Amino acid sequence: MEHIENVTFFDHPLLQHKISMLRDEQTGTNEFRKLVEEIAMLMGYEALRDLPTEDVEIKTPIETCMTPMIAGKKLAIVPILRAGLGMVNGILALVPSAKVGHIGLYRDPETHEPHEYYCKLPEPIDQRTIVVVDPMLATGGSGSDAVSMIKQHGGQHIKFMSIIAAPEGLQRLHNDHPDIQIYVGHLDRCLNDHAYICPGLGDAGDRIFGTK
Ligand code: PRP
Ligand code: URA
């Protein structure tokens, strides 16, 4: 796994294999959804390695001991609608007791600027580790705005997970929010004239929800 300051890139063959399957235009909605969920779980396993634990008393068949368990209520997952929703269950499979907030942003097709239409976050958010999920980090506008919104609500310990990133988007998110941890499944080549990631996988929201 490659790591530069506050940015982690994944090179695990299983993860890269699943990302390649996602890219395939022949991959249908059902399989696409399952893959997004599996990839989110594999990325989440690494991204959550610093989750706080607390020692609890457990009685084994042999004796009673103090042993660490995840302090699950300290985690909040925040998908950026719509496509981020596809990643939520993958993280919940790891931490079922996590709270889930939602941020609604859509990109203007002409300007590619994000527009906010929804924000509901678990309160209080300041004590929680917050994992923002969105499969695509293209210009970085949506990701950066989402993190700003969370910070405005008091969020402090923020991680951002994207399955595919363009260099432009990663740079923007990192520049705007150098304090957050960013996790990228694969760094792609560039953006095209419509601000789509190349080679990318197309429109993630449409592919997850079967819309066009
Ligand atoms: C997509 C994607 C990201 C955003 C990335 O969402 O899920 O949220 O674009 O682009 P950016 O980095 O240039 O901001 P979109 O706005 O298409 O909405 P949708 O998920 O509802 O389809
Ligand atoms: N949003 C997507 O869903 N895909 C892209 O390539 C860029 C933005």
Does residue 211 carry a catalytic annotation? Answer: no
Count of domains for the chain: 1
Q: What pLDDT, on a 0 to 100 scale, did the predictor assign at position 74?
A: 86
Tell whether 56 is covered by a domain: no
Band the pLDDT of 123: cuts 50, 70, 90.
very high
Is 60 a known active-site residue? Answer: no
Whether residue 134 contacts residue 107, with contact meaning beta carbons closer than 8 Å, is answered with: no
67 CA → ligand 1 middle, Å: 41
Q: Determine which one of 8, 33, 82, 107 is catalytic.
A: 107
Ligand in nearest proximity to the CA of 134: 1
Average pLDDT value for residue range 21-42: 98
pLDDT tier, 43 (very low <50, low <70, confident <90, very high otherwise): very high
CB proximity list for 50: less than 8 A, separation 6 or greater: none
Active-site residue, from 23, 27, 176, 206: 206
Q: Over range 38-61, report the average pLDDT.
A: 95
**Cβ(125)–Cβ(112) below 8 Å:** no
Q: What share of the chain is helix, strand, coil (3-state, %, to 5)?
A: 35, 35, 35
Task: List ligand 1's pocket residues with C-beta within 6 A.
Answer: 80-83, 105-107, 112, 114, 134, 136-143, 169, 195, 203-205
Ligand 2 mean position, distance from CA 203 (Å): 5
Between CA 161 and CA 143 the distance in angstroms is 10
pLDDT at 26 (0 to 100): 98
Active site residue 67: no
Percent of residues, the chain, with pLDDT higher than 70: 98
The residues, any chain, with a CB within 8 Å of residue 41's CB and separated by 6 or more, are 90, 91, 93, 94
The CATH number of whichever domain residue 79 belongs to comes to 3.40.50.2020
Can you tell me the mean pLDDT for 4-9?
Answer: 92
55-59, 106-110, 187-191: lowest mean pLDDT where? 106-110
| 125 pLDDT higher than 80 | yes
Can you tell me the distance from the alpha carbon of 118 to that of 83, in angstroms, rounded to the nearest whole number? 14
Q: Which atom of ligand 1 is nearest to the CA of 135?
A: 7
**Would residue 15 count as lying in a domain?**
yes
pLDDT in tens, 66-118: 999 987 568 999 999 999 999 999 999 999 989 999 999 999 989 999 999 99
pLDDT value, residue 37: 98
pLDDT of residue 2: 66
For residue 58, pLDDT over 70 is answered with: yes
The ligand with the least distance to the CA atom of 172 is: 1
> What's the mean pLDDT when you consider all of the chain?
95
The secondary structure of residue 39, as a DSSP letter, is H
**Beta strand 64-70 pairing with 53-59:** antiparallel
Residue 126 located in a structural domain: yes
Is residue 181 a part of any domain in this protein? yes
> Is 66 part of a structural domain of the chain?
no
Task: Give the chain's length.
Answer: 212
Which residues does ligand 2 sit against, CB inside 6 Å? 83, 136, 138, 196-197, 200, 203-205
Does the structure show a pLDDT above 80 at 3? no
Establish if 34 belongs to a structural domain: yes
d(CA 81, CA 62): 48
Q: Which of 117, 163, 157, 115 is nearest to 138 (CA)?
A: 163
pLDDT of 127-149, one tens digit each? Answer: 899 999 999 999 999 999 999 99
Residues of the domain holding 157:
2-49+75-209
Cβ pair 122, 100 in contact under 8 A: yes
**62 found inside a domain:** no
Q: Residue 193: how many CA atoms within 13 Å on its side-chain side?
A: 0
Contact 45, 94 (CB under 8 A): yes
| Residue with CA nearest ligand 2 atom 4 | 203
**pLDDT on residue 210:** 96
Q: Distance (Å, rounded) from C-alpha 6 to C-alpha 179?
A: 7
